[in-house]
Amino acid sequence: EAQVTQNPRYLITVTGKKLTVTCSQNMNHEYMSWYRQDPGLGLRQIYYSMNVEVTDKGDVPEGYKVSRKEKRNFPLILESPSPNQTSLYFCASSLSYGGQETQYFGPGTRLLVL
Amino acid sequence: GEDVEQSLFLSVREGDSSVINCTYTDSSSTYLYWYKQEPGAGLQLLTYIFSNMDMKQDQRLTVLLNKKDKHLSLRIADTQTGDSAIYFCAERSSGTYKYIFGTGTRLKVLA
C-alpha cells in the first residue's frame, strides 16, 4: 500500500528542546515536502527536496532544518522549538512522470510547544 | 508575491452541485491543484490542471480555469454527505516545487 508515514503523530514539548519529526514514503518518490497548517492560513511550505541531498526553502523555513540522506526519508528538525512553532505538520511526497503527477500526504503531526 | 485566495465556507444540499472558487496571482506557466481534507486526516489530491487547459473533468469533479481572470473553480456534481470536508486549491509554477496554498473552503453538505 502506497503511504507516507509520520512520527510521532502527537508531541508536546518545551521551548528549546530539540526534536525531530520523521517522514518516510514507500513509493520511491523523488520529491518530498514539509508543510505546516495553521487556522486561517491554510498550508505553508517549510522545506522541500527534489531528490537525495537536494533541498530548498519554502515560504516559512525559519527555525526548521531538513535532511535527505536517502530517498525514502525526509526528517524535519526543530533545533530550538518556540511556541510559535505550535502547529499541525504534514509531510508529502510526489512523482511527476509523463505529464502525470501523483501526490500523497502523511496523516499529520500535531506539535505543541510550551 | 504569489497569493491564492478562497472563500471560507460553502453549504449545499445533498444532491445539488457544489462550486468552490479560487483566485491565484502567478502569471507564469502554472499547475493548479485541488485537495480534500477530511477531519483529522492529511490532504488528498483530487485533481490538477495545467494553465494551458480550460477544463478538466474526472467523474463527478469538473475543474474550470479562467486564465484571463486567474480564476479556478471546482464543481462537484451530485454532492454527497461524504463530500463534507475542507477543500484547498494550490498553485505551483512550472519548473519549481514551491506550492502556494489557499486558506481552504469548508464545504458542508446538508442531508
Task: Identify any residues that bridge with B41 across adjacent strands, giving them in sequence order.
Answer: none
CB A79 within 8 A of CB A13: no
| Pairing outcome for strands A109-113 and A10-13 | parallel
Q: Is the pLDDT of residue A80 over 80?
A: yes
- What is chain B's mean pLDDT, rounded? 92
Task: Provide the shortest C-alpha distance from residue A59 to chain B (in Å).
Answer: 8
Instruction: Report CA-CA distances (Å) from A81 to A17, A45, A109, B8, B92.
Output: 6, 18, 15, 30, 29
Decide which of B14 and B30 is more confident. B14
Question: Which neighbouring-strand residues pair with A88?
Answer: A37, A110
Residue B37 has pLDDT above 70, yes or no: yes
Q: SS3 of A84, please?
A: helix
Cα distance between residue A9 and residue B86, in whole Å:
20
Q: Which of A45, A56, A108 sits opposite B99 (nearest CB)?
A: A45
Q: Find residues 7-46 of chain A whose CB sits inside 8 Å of chain B.
A: 31, 33, 35, 40-45
Question: What span, in angstroms and rounded, lies between the C-alpha atoms of B62 and B76?
Answer: 7
What value does the mean pLDDT take over residues A7-34?
97
At a CB cut-off of 8 Å and minimum separation 6, what does B48 contact? A101, B31, B32, B33, B34, B56, B63
Cell 533541498, located at residue: A55
Do B97 and A33 count as a contact with CB atoms less than 8 A apart? yes
- In this complex, the residue of B48, B90, B101 whose CB is nearest that of residue A101 is B48
- Mean local confidence (pLDDT), A57-73: 96
